[in-house]
Amino acid sequence: MPVQARRLSVMNRSCLPTVFNAGLGPDDPENPENWSFGKRVWLSFIIGFSTWAVYQGGGTVSMGYRSLMGEFNIVEQEAFLLTTSVTDGAGALLFSPLSEMYQLGRNPPYYIPMLAALGLQIGAALSPSFAGVAICRLLVGFFISPLLATGGASLADIWGLERLPLALSAFWVFPAFCAPTLAPTMVVCAVERYDWRWTMLVQLFALAISAVLLLLLPETFIDKILYRRACRLRRLTGSPLFKSPAEVSEHAAKGFGTIMKKALVMPFKVTFLDPSILFAACYMGFCYAIFFCFFDAFPVVFGEIYPFSLEQQGLAFLCGVVAPALAVPCYVVYQLTYMYPLVKKHGMPIVERRLEPALLSSVTAALGLWIFAWTSFVRLHWIGPMIGAGLFIWSNCITFQCIFYYVILAYPKYVASALAANDFIRSAAAAGLVHGATPLFHSRVGLHGGVSLLAGLATCGIAGVFILYLKGASLRARSRFAESPAQVEKAELEKAGESGGAVEQA
């Protein structure tokens, strides 16, 4: 028996504390926020690369649609859109809330679905029929979508609420926006020379690298870390008195089945019982859907209105890389020069203050769509619609960062669930609007009328963002799930004080 075990075994077990929560301390080496800066950057890069690997699938596949439709004699382009549904968020509703269970933690909802997605992506690349390609791609979207929701929760574990905006901006939002627009440029030459299967292989390689990197990701969920520590102490001492805070909570006492059921229901409850979070999810879903509509609009604008070659069309998508590259520094400067000094001087402000940049970006998003719609004429220079698209994507990037952080601050206990529901609504909106965008752009209203319709809806959404900013606090006050950072900090201090008193008494 190890020396430490012998020492613990001779202790009076009646004096041992019932709850073991030393990991909540600010100096604990197993606390992810105390890991070295280099380690946290490396782990954040893994999450960011995995996010990029997921999101680039829709962009790569879209460049091979003519080759795929020609091989399988597909006439309707809407049928092809089934193969681009890698953004399906249904899987996030199943797997991401499970990452909030202390028995599982963050990592299993990463590993297991990713392995299933790899096998299905191989099937999509080698399938001899269009039905096989469509089914495999739909299932790939189901299994890789949890990464899009749980990634934000992992970054919150690693960096903490105060430094989270910068981490979200650099390692999550930026790759999520760059991936779909950079992907066409990456595969356009391969598709031109070979066929559509190269688009599947490119994402397969990206997902395979991501799967290997995710195996290097340590557990970051504090409840799981403390649960492991309590299990180690129980094995060392033979005493059942060592328990983590999650194990002795009222929720845990109801059993594993009840916990899982509640985890699966939580995304719906958090979203649909809170008007503020429901509007945030719907508005993001609308903007996200328009973002993916550009994959239908760009071939019309830069292939039919302006006679660009396939390679030039791929280069046109680079405006979607430049826009996030400009948006991220703008948001970082705002955080460093305005919000951080404000927090340092006055403490955490109300959550709605984090939406201030979105008041501007909601206006510029609608403006970008109007510019894109009414500069797409052959008699005008092609730079006009590209500026409009870039302005809209820049605005979306700013808005998404504000709302992501708003959701995380309002629901610190249910981050993965809230983001999973947000991801599902975004994906459902994107899937629905994308399937309707191509017929709309080729109908009697044409591209100009179709994009104008979207621009009008975005203009109406401006009022919703302002209402959320002005009335969000009163709406959250009626919620059973929302919680301010000050309440979280107070609860943690009280819990630490109770634990310290118990240990001192023992």
pLDDT tens digit string along 134-192? Answer: 888 888 888 887 777 788 888 988 998 788 888 988 898 888 888 887 877 777 776 76
Q: Number of C-alpha atoms within 13 angstroms, CB side, residue 171?
A: 24
Q: How many CB atoms within 10 Å of residue 477?
A: 9
DSSP 8-state symbol, 19: B
Q: Summarize the confidence of residues 22-27 as an average pLDDT.
A: 59
Per DSSP, what are the bridge partners of residue 243? 19
Average pLDDT, the chain: 78
Q: Summarize the confidence of residues 430-454 as an average pLDDT.
A: 78
DSSP 8-state symbol, 480: S
Task: For residue 67, count CB atoms less than 10 angstroms from its CB and return exposed for 0-12, middle for 13-18, buried for 19 or more.
Answer: middle
Q: Which two tokens stand for residue 466?
A: 């302002």
Which CATH code, of 3.10.200.10, 3.40.50.620, 1.10.940.10, 1.20.1250.20, is assigned to 17-505?
1.20.1250.20
Euclidean distance between the first and final Cα of the chain, in Å? 25
The pLDDT value recorded for residue 82 is 59
Q: Where are the domains of the chain?
A: 17-505
Q: What is the pLDDT of residues 275-309, one digit of tens each?
A: 877 888 888 888 887 877 777 788 788 888 888 88
> What are φ and ψ of residue 19, in 5° steps?
-110, 130
